[in-house]
Every structure is written in structure tokens, then in C-alpha cells.
Structure 1
Amino acid sequence: MNIAQPNISQIENRPDALISTLNQYIEALGGKLEIHAKFPDGQDIEISQFAIVK
């Protein structure tokens, strides 16, 4: 992510974060951010409106 360790600590300790910031953090760790809504009836719907287009 090319940011200082204190800034990483702030991201990790925030009760909320921007989705774009969370996405950058996860990708820097080698992962992929996916957001899903899960409902009591078993439905699992991917929320794609936040997808980051590169």
C-alpha cells in the first residue's frame, strides 16, 4: 500500500472504513474483497455496486 505503519494501525483499529480503503488493504495482503448480503431464507446476494474497476 506504500503507507507508513502508523497509518496501517489506524485502518486496523477503525470501527468503520471506506470500502475503497478496505479493498486496498485486502489486496495488499493478497486477497480479494467481496461483499455479500445473506438472508435468513438462505439467499446470498453479491453486492456488486462497490466493485473496483481497474
Structure 2
Amino acid sequence: MTMVEAGDWAVELPRPLVLHAGEQVWIEGTVVFVRQSDGDAVRHDGDGFWPCR
């Protein structure tokens, strides 16, 4: 399982997410997008939540 946080929002993914140098990551709702070095964007669906601090 992988959790990606952005500010006060987090998305938990059902599988590990491996990132490589030069890739860009952003979150839209419950989806984590990864723009690969070749320009393609890959979508990873998960569950969004507000992490407790």
C-alpha cells in the first residue's frame, strides 16, 4: 500500500507506487497521476481522506 500526501489531503493506493527520476506527481481528488519522462501520464486510483495531525 502507498500513501501520497499533498498539503492537507492524502490518497491511499492499493498497490505500491514506484517513482523514477524526472517523473512528476499530482493529485486530483482520489487519483494520483504520474507524468513519466516520455510525457505520458499514468493514472492510479485510490481512496482520498483528510489525514489526522
In the superposition, the TM-score normalised over structure 1's length comes to 0.30
Higher relative contact order (CA 8 A, sep 6+): 2
In the superposition, the TM-score normalised over structure 2's length comes to 0.31
Please identify which structure carries the higher strand content.
2
